[in-house]
Structure 1
Amino acid sequence: MTTAITILVDGLSYASWLFIVALGLTLVFGVLKILNIAHGSFYALGAYAAASFVGWFATLKLAPEWSLVAMLFAAVAVAALVAPLTERGLLRFFYGRDEVLLVLVTYALFLMLEDITKLVWGANPYYVSEPYAMFGNIEIGEQIYVGYDFMLMGLAAVVGIAVWWGLNRTRQGKIVLAVIHSEEVASSMGVNVSRVYMLAFAVGIFLACIGGAFTAPLISVQPGISVGVIIVSFAVVIIGGLGSIEGAAIGALIVGLARAAAVHLAPQVELFAIYVVMALVLVFRPEGLFQRIQARKI
């Protein structure tokens, strides 16, 4: 029983930040039809910026609670700076082109951002320890868990509900859904599709950055963290179905629990347990568990 609870808590903790990152990836694909290889680099930028902002706030002798505000500010700052430069300065010139070309463009952007992070922050690791101890420990049965992990679960729930509500209960969100369904029809109805692309891409980048910022206290922020994140994020959206919010949530939960079960029960298969699960899902549901319905072309 203790092992089962530990697997559940660890799996939910891992799935929480992964869901936030994968949600941004699936949102960008759903609206812009881009498999954004550089999404992991935006995650890394959020983590590096959070480390810098938390350190800066610490020099101001502010209360530890301000470190959470610093991480949020870091995500907002990176998204506000990087999203317009990337979407307006690069991606917009390739809309309507072959999907493989867009993948290659985002891969080139990924390589450039990897070097840019090294130029800005160097090759030494950064550690963000202040927020991790803020929430204390929580005792469940015979085990003691870090409270920060439960905060991440709550953050994932808030982010998921906010994105769902924004898409389904607001005017701007319904415009985005119209563009997802058919950008040609939406454009003919007077919708500024270019502006919708910019908005969706900015939100997607913000989700990647906030995922990186709030996982910075859990990891060593160093070069290379973007590679593992983008691979696992693709596994999540492939399992759940590209372009589906519900799929991102279920996919992250499946990946998180599979990884946690492998770590605790069979550590030797931890490296490829996620991909075994992905392969099994694709055998029976090649389109993913929650693939959105495609509009019929006439």
Structure 2
Amino acid sequence: MSLDTLILAVSDGVAYASLVFLVAVGLTFIFGVLGVLNIAHGSFYALGAYMAVSIGLGLVKMGFSPWLTFPALFVAAILVGAVLGGLMEKLLLQRIYDKEHVLQILVTFAVFMMLENIQRLIWGVQPYFMSEPLQLLGNVSLVGINYTAYQTLFLPLLALAVLLGLRFFLRHTNAGAQIMAVTEDREAARAIGIDAQRVYFLTFIVGATLAALGGAVAAPTTSLIPGMGAEMIVLSFAVAATAGLGQIEGAAVAALMIGLGRSLAVYIAPEFEVLVPYILMVLVLIVRPSGLFGATAVRKI
């Protein structure tokens, strides 16, 4: 592999890892606090992408500056995460928190299927694409190779900002301290006056918004088609399992491993592109069944 090809592969891998991290960290954050494996997380990703394109293209068609497509990405993520995520938590998840994990998975899978069909009813099956953010930032030169600034700079910096922001929120804010307390011991947290139900609601909205943000910022880099949510939720589970469920920093490392592995496979052995993330996951789980950063659970008898 030439140096030019290696640079392209690394750039592609970091950009892809940034997108996957945004979705996977929301998934693992929800599981770490609520203990729920949310299959519908993939639908938040897809709906965030479609909502961002709808708002962004709508603004451009109305004659507004194309630069407004950038805030449109974040507005779309907040709308999907806060409204749809809030409704799902209030109307559905509150009823199944104490149920078996199998039932939780089945219920969230049913929500995923319904949202997938709602997505098709609203936007149809034709591909959507919004290139304005990609074009506005232009290109950067990496050792003489031109690459889009959106993927080289914007996406990795956004992922890093989310990681650092989430760490700061959990460790240095009152709301974050309450989330950590509920995560450690829900009953003890309730005993000292923490509203666990409010914490669950806030946590789910944050996780859903991160998934929608991943879809929104992915919109300028790919065509939006039905089924994109299913592909991303499977990949997010691979990242979360590789890192260890509930591990936020670990999700960043696992996403980078999988992103770079997949990108290198594209240039070296394209036939293994789809398999690489899951091969890496299996290899890690064979050596460490709890994931790279997960702690082995002690079974109480």
Question: TM-score normalised by the shorter chain: which range applies?
Answer: over 0.9
Shift of 1:296: 8.7
Aligned to 2:31: 29
Aligned to 1:125: 127
Q: Does the 8 Å contact 1:244/1:292 carry over to 2?
A: no
Aligned to 2:140: 138
In the TM superposition, 1:234-273 aligns within 5 A as 234-273=237-276
Query: What is the letter of the counterpart of residue 223 of structure 1?
Result: P
Shift of 1:142: 3.2
Query: What is the letter of the counterpart of residue 136 of structure 1?
Result: G
In the TM superposition, 1:55-204 aligns within 5 A as 55-149=57-151, 150-204=153-207
Moved more, 278-287 or 116-125: 116-125
Aligned to 1:289: 292
Shift of 1:200: 0.1
TM-score (norm: length of structure 1) = 0.97
Q: Does the 8 Å contact 1:137/1:147 carry over to 2?
A: yes
Q: SS where residue 144 of structure 1 aligns?
A: strand
Query: What is the letter of the counterpart of residue 156 of structure 1?
Result: A
Distance 1:269 1:295 in 2: 36
Unaligned runs of 5+ in 2: none
Shift of 1:60: 2.6
Q: Which deviations, in whole Å up to 9, do the C-alpha atoms of 1:22-48 show, x marking residues without a partner?
A: 010000001110111110000001001
2:220 is the alignment partner of 1:213: no
Shift of 1:292: 4.8
Identity among equivalent pairs (%): 44
Q: Does the 8 Å contact 1:235/1:275 carry over to 2?
A: yes
Q: Does the 8 Å contact 1:43/1:208 carry over to 2?
A: yes
Shift of 1:167: 0.5
Q: Which deviations, in whole Å up to 9, do the C-alpha atoms of 1:46-73 show, x marking residues without a partner?
A: 0010010001111232222111011111
Query: What is the letter of the counterpart of residue 25 of structure 2?
Result: L
Q: How many residues align?
A: 298
Aligned to 2:47: 45
Q: Which deviations, in whole Å up to 9, do the C-alpha atoms of 1:265-294 show, x marking residues without a partner?
A: 111111211111111101111100111576
Q: Does the 8 Å contact 1:243/1:292 carry over to 2?
A: no
Unaligned runs of 5+ in 1: none
Query: What is the letter of the counterpart of residue 214 of structure 2?
Result: G
Shift of 1:187: 1.1
Query: What is the letter of the counterpart of residue 281 of structure 2?
Result: M
Q: Does the 8 Å contact 1:19/1:156 carry over to 2?
A: yes
Distance 1:5 1:274 in 2: 20
TM-score (norm: length of structure 2) = 0.96
Q: SS where residue 275 of structure 2 aligns?
A: helix
Q: Does the 8 Å contact 1:181/1:294 carry over to 2?
A: no
Q: 1:294 to 1:189 in 2, by over 3 A?
A: farther
Q: SS where residue 271 of structure 1 aligns?
A: coil
Q: 1:181 to 1:297 in 2, by over 3 A?
A: farther
Q: Does the 8 Å contact 1:182/1:295 carry over to 2?
A: no
Shift of 1:9: 1.0
Q: Does the 8 Å contact 1:127/1:221 carry over to 2?
A: yes
Distance 1:220 1:11 in 2: 18
